[in-house]
């Protein structure tokens, strides 16, 4: 089992105070053909871009993530979602690289999404927001990267849905990607993954407050969104992780507990996670992004996976990581990508890390993960220099 | 007792030196059971090979990545079906053949995905092994076979003579051979004196119908 360090000191030095930035473009044509205009992309940057602009890394977030990947907003004590991996001397070393993370379109943390104002109506889009794909998220990121004047990214990297975006980047914009880091991800969702998402969506749409997606003036479908999040959390853990974390321990009775009964710790944990989530996340975004995940298929319209990678440049490098106890995105899904890459003679390192933490393992402090990513990026940088020398 | 392959004055294993000598500049190399990536690193530095390894032990995979070596964390015993034929110029089985469960399948897979295969293994026919078995009546524990019967990773015990016979039976030709003794390379009576044998192999062309491949001359011992 890998060694996880949870205390804050072990998170190491932070990038410190960070701020949300955003840029608005006139329009973005989506895969569906619909045009989103205007389109805003929220992003954050950590570390310095070097003079020749070759040290930029784009971080891609997962379903419930956002552009706040590292550091602290002014006055806040909770760091960004990948604080364990991004910072000085960390896996994505901000002493060496300029790390960029943007909120996906369809999101609810500053980028255009269902909760944004539709200029045509002056009201929130709601379900009037166009259907979004993982490919669309990447198109939007491409506009951002062009806007920042970065000709080629040293790496595109992410876990879960972030890994899907990373692979999409490699296939859509191969000339702009030197390397790919995909963690706990898949070339497409399995029926099981779709099934869990569907239960979450049903919970949201079954909440009377959802009101056909038009709820921004009144009460939001928090009960439904909380259930969706609870289901999500179950799938992010593992049997072993839940045994370790909760056992069958009971939580002290509080008058507010349901039915006046004592509850298991796991119950109160899930209820708490569900409740907290409703404070920071938009239910319609949850619907849009889970749909994007379910429809995503790296090989759709491109032939079998091994054909998809046929035209990739031979010097593109890949680091694909799966976790042994991840039953939501099991290692076989990552291996399918790896085998198709290897079948094309591409430079791909694959790691199946032993961990009891399930899908969540990529978000936890793990010094092996840190070390592997650090060295992978260092080798990528060195090869690139040698290539240009 | 010192264990492992004898090293030269610079501390480099003689079998590795042979392999680095054999593999040409810029070759595509697959190392099955690459461990911490020491050999691949040498090949990348000395011969600028395009190298990749497969390693089962997670901690060794981390070491290999730290050396800038590309690795697949997994079991090569499960096959290499995702590689098309002749994906590599050289496939290396450095001290790993005797640990594979499916020895025959692994060797043929290696020869399918690679033009040449380099295979090395500890020689069970070394005179010390023979004497220990004969005089002491005990399973041999020697420099090249440093394990006890209960903890050895070597699930196949073979001699150099066994391997030559095996390659003939399997339609595999030995292109070059190299032996390492107690302290240095060895040239005579390898089956009796070599701790390790290293073989450069290639597939024999399929024989024409009705003909049989010429038997290789039996050498020494």
pLDDT of residue B179: 95
* Residue A20 lies inside a defined structural domain of this protein: yes
Measuring CA to CA, which residue among A134, A195, A120 is closest to residue A166? A134
A286 and A301 inside one domain? no
Chain B hits for A348, CB-CB cut-off 8 Å, are: 52, 70, 72
Q: Is B81 exposed, middle or buried (0-12, 13-18, 19+ CB in 10 A)?
A: exposed
- To the nearest whole angstrom, how far is the Cα of A214 from the nearest Cα of chain B? 49
Percentage with pLDDT > 90 across chain A: 90
CB contact under 8 Å between B83 and A372, yes or no, is no
CB contact under 8 Å between A372 and B62, yes or no, is yes
Question: Between the CA of residue A302 and those of A162, A343, B3, B63, what are the distances in Å?
Answer: 20, 16, 53, 36
Predicted confidence (pLDDT) per residue in B100-150, tens digit: 999 999 999 999 999 999 999 999 989 999 999 899 999 889 888 899 989
The two beta strands, A123-124 and A117-118, are antiparallel
Topology of domain B14-124+157-203, CATH: Rossmann fold (3.40.50)
Predicted confidence (pLDDT) per residue in A31-84, tens digit: 999 999 999 999 999 999 999 999 999 999 999 999 999 999 999 999 999 999
**Residue scoring higher pLDDT (B214 or A200):** A200
Residue B221 has pLDDT above 50, yes or no: no
Which of A263, A290, A317 is at the close of a domain? A290
Choose from B70, B75, B91 for mutation: most chain A CBs within 10 A: B70
Q: What is the CATH number of the domain that holds A285?
A: 1.10.1740.110
Which of A268, A290, A312 is at the close of a domain? A290
The two beta strands, A347-353 and A317-323, are parallel
A93 and A167 inside one domain? yes
CB contact under 8 Å between A348 and B66, yes or no, is no
Tell whether the torsion through CA atoms of A86, A92, A98 and A99 is positive or negative.
negative
Active site residues per annotation of A: 160, 326, 359
φ and ψ of B183, to 5 deg: -120, -15
* Residue A1 lies inside a defined structural domain of this protein: no
Q: How many domains does chain A have?
A: 2
Question: Domain range spanning residue A50?
Answer: 8-188+297-388
A374 and A301 inside one domain? yes
Residues β-bridged to residue A21: A43
Helix or strand or coil: residue A97? Answer: coil
Residues β-bridged to residue B214: none
The two beta strands, A123-124 and B88-94, are unpaired
Q: Dig out the tokens for A1 from the structure.
A: 């089992």
A260: left (phi over 0), alpha (psi -120 to 50) or beta: left
Q: How far apart are CA B13 and CA B20, in angstroms?
A: 11
Number of helices (H) and strands (E) in chain A: give both, helices first.
10, 16
Q: How far apart are CA A43 and CA A47, in angstroms?
A: 14
* Residue A2 lies inside a defined structural domain of this protein: no
Which one of A347, A354, A371 has the shortest CB-CB distance to B66?
Answer: A371
pLDDT of residue A102: 98
- Partner B contacted by A368 (CB < 8 A): yes
A216 and A124 inside one domain? no
Predicted confidence (pLDDT) per residue in B58-117, tens digit: 999 999 999 999 999 999 988 899 999 999 999 999 999 989 999 999 999 999 999 999
* Residue A3 lies inside a defined structural domain of this protein: no
Which of A243, A262, A290 is at the close of a domain? A290
φ and ψ of B199, to 5 deg: -125, 135
Which one of B50, B70, B82 has the shortest CB-CB distance to A339?
Answer: B82
Mean pLDDT of chain B: 91
- Over chain A (389 residues), the average pLDDT of each successive run of 10 is 42 88 98 96 98 97 98 94 96 97 98 97 97 98 98 98 98 98 98 98 98 97 98 96 94 64 89 96 98 96 91 97 98 98 97 97 93 97 82
pLDDT of residue A262: 73
Domain ranges of chain B: 14-124+157-203
pTM above 0.90, yes or no: yes
CB contact under 8 Å between B72 and A342, yes or no, is yes
- To the nearest whole angstrom, how far is the Cα of A340 from the nearest Cα of chain B? 7
A52 and A135 inside one domain? yes
pLDDT of residue A389: 64
Number of helices (H) and strands (E) in chain B: give both, helices first.
7, 8
User: Which residue is listed with tokens 């009796």?
Assistant: B192
- Partner B contacted by A378 (CB < 8 A): yes
Residues β-bridged to residue B180: B185, B196
Q: How far apart are CA B77 and CA B54, in angstroms?
A: 10
What one-character-per-residue DSSP string does B93-147 give? EES-GGG-SSHHHHHHHHHHHEEEEEEEEE-TT-HHHHHIIIII-S----SS--S
- Partner B contacted by A209 (CB < 8 A): no
**Residue scoring higher pLDDT (B49 or B139):** B49
φ and ψ of A172, to 5 deg: -80, -40
- Partner B contacted by A253 (CB < 8 A): no
Residue in chain A nearest B44 by alpha carbon: A383
Q: Is A253 exposed, middle or buried (0-12, 13-18, 19+ CB in 10 A)?
A: exposed
Chain A hits for B82, CB-CB cut-off 8 Å, are: 339-340, 342-343
A237 and A321 inside one domain? no
């Amino acid at each position: 089992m890998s060694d996880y360090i949870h205390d804050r000191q072990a998170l190491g030095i932070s990038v410190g105070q960070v701020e949300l930035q955003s840029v608005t473009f006139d329009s973005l044509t989506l895969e569906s053909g619909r045009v989103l205009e205007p389109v805003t992309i929220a992003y954050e940057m950590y570390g310095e871009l070097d003079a020749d602009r070759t040290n930029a890394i784009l971080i891609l977030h997962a379903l419930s993530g956002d552009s706040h990947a590292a550091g602290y907003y002014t006055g806040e004590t909770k760091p960004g979602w990948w604080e364990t991996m991004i910072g000085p001397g960390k896996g994505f070393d901000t002493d060496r690289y300029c790390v960029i993370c943007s909120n996906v379109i369809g999101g609810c943390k500053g980028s255009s999404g269902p909760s944004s104002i539709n200029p045509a109506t002056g009201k929130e889009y709601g379900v009037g927001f166009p259907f979004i794909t993982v490919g669309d998220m990447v198109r939007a990121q491409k506009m951002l990267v062009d806007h920042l004047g970065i000709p080629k990214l040293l790496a595109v990297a992410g876990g879960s849905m972030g890994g899907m975006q990373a692979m999409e980047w490699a296939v859509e914009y191969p000339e702009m990607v030197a390397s790919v880091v995909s963690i706990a991800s898949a070339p497409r969702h399995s029926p099981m993954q779709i099934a869990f998402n569907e239960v979450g969506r049903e919970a949201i749409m079954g909440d009377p407050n959802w009101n056909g997606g038009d709820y921004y003036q009144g009460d939001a479908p928090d009960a439904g969104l909380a259930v969706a999040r609870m289901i999500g959390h179950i799938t992010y853990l593992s049997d072993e992780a839940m045994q370790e974390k909760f056992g069958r321990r009971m939580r002290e009775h509080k008058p507010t507990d349901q039915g006046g009964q004592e509850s298991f710790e796991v119950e109160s944990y899930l209820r708490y996670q569900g409740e907290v989530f409703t404070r920071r996340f938009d239910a319609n975004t949850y619907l849009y992004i889970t749909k994007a995940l379910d429809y995503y298929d790296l090989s759709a319209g491109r032939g079998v996976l091994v054909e998809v990678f046929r035209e990739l440049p031979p010097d593109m490098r890949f680091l694909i990581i799966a976790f042994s106890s991840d039953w939501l995105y099991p290692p076989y899904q990552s291996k399918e990508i790896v085998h198709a890459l290897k079948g094309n003679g591409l430079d791909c390192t694959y790691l199946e890390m032993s961990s009891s933490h399930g899908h969540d393992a990529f978000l936890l402090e793990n010094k092996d993960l840190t070390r592997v990513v650090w060295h992978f990026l260092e080798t990528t940088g060195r090869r690139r220099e040698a290539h240009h020398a | 007792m010192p264990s492992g392959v004898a090293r030269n004055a610079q501390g480099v294993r003689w079998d590795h030196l042979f392999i680095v000598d054999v593999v040409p500049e810029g070759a595509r190399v697959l190392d099955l059971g690459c461990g911490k990536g020491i050999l691949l690193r040498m090949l990348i530095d000395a011969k600028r090979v395009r190298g990749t390894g497969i390693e089962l032990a997670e901690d060794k995979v981390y070491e290999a990545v730290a050396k800038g070596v590309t690795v697949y964390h997994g079991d090569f015993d499960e096959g290499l079906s995702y590689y098309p034929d002749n994906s590599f110029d050289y496939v290396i089985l450095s001290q790993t053949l005797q640990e594979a469960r499916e020895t025959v399948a692994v060797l043929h897979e290696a020869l399918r995905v690679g033009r040449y295969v380099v295979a090395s293994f500890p020689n069970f026919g070394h005179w010390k092994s023979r004497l220990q078995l004969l005089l002491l009546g005990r399973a041999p524990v020697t420099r090249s076979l440093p394990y006890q019967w209960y903890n050895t990773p070597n699930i196949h015990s073979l001699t150099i003579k066994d391997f030559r016979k095996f390659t003939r039976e399997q339609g595999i030709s030995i292109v070059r051979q190299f032996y390492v003794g107690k302290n240095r390379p060895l040239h005579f009576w390898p089956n009796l004196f070599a701790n390790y044998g290293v073989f450069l192999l290639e597939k024999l062309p399929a024989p024409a119908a009705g003909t049989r491949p010429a038997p290789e001359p039996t050498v020494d011992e």
